[in-house]
Amino acid sequence: MADQQELRIATFRRGAGWLVWPAVLLIAVAGATGYFLTNLPDPFDDWMLLAAAVVVVFFGVLLPWWTWISRSYIVTTRRIIARHGLLLRRRREFLHATGYGVELLRGPVQGAFGTGTLRLTWAGSTIELRGVRNPKLVRETLSDQIEICQILAHRQAQQLAADPYLEQPSA
C-alpha cells in the first residue's frame, strides 16, 4: 500500500488579542517620551528618560511580542506539531494514528473572546494549545484526523495480515 503524502491542514498561533496592552503601552511610552524629552526637572537628564523608555519598551512590548511570535501550532494529515522558541527551537508532536485525548478548556473571558485552550494528552505526555481561536473547530478537526488515521492504520494492518509478503512502505 502506497504511503499517503503528509499535507498541512492548518498553521496557527495564539490569538493576538492579548497584544493590545503592549501596543497601548508602546503608544503611551512614545507620547510620554516625546512630551518629557528636554522638559525634565533639574536633577534628571534626557538620557535617563530614554534609558527608562527603552527598558519599558523592551520588557513591556518586545518580550510579549517575542513570546507570541515564538509559538506556533501546525496540524497535518498525520500529526500535530507544537513549536516554541525563536533562537532555541523546541518541538513536540503527537501522531494522529496513535490516538490522543483532546480536552477543551474555556474560562468566561476566553468564551467572550471566542478563544480557548486545547489540552492534548497521550501516554502521560501533554501538549497545551493556548489561546486558540475557534477552539471547537480545531478540536473537531483533530478528532476527525485521529479517526481517519486510525482507520487507515487498521486497513493497512489488515492488508498486511492478508498478504504478509506485501512490501512495507518506507517511513
- Note the pLDDT tens digit of each residue in 9-50: 999 988 888 889 999 999 999 999 999 988 888 888 889 999
- pLDDT tens digits along 97-125: 888 889 999 989 888 888 899 999 988 88
Contact (Cβ atoms closer than 8 angstroms) between residue 104 and residue 115: no
What per-residue confidence (pLDDT) applies to 109?
86
User: How far is CA 52 from its chain centroid?
Assistant: 32
Q: Which amino acid is at 96?
A: H
**CA pseudo-torsion sign 148, 149, 150, 156:** positive
Q: With a cut of 60, say whether residue 171 has pLDDT above it.
A: no
User: What pTM does this model have?
Assistant: 0.74
Q: Would you state the pLDDT for residue 161? A: 79
Query: How many other β-carbons are positioned within 10 Å of the β-carbon of residue 120?
Result: 19
Residue 150 has pLDDT above 70, yes or no: yes
The whole-chain average pLDDT of the chain stands at 87
Instruction: Check residue 56 and give its pLDDT.
Output: 97
User: What share of the chain has pLDDT > 90, as a percent?
Assistant: 43
pLDDT at 163: 75
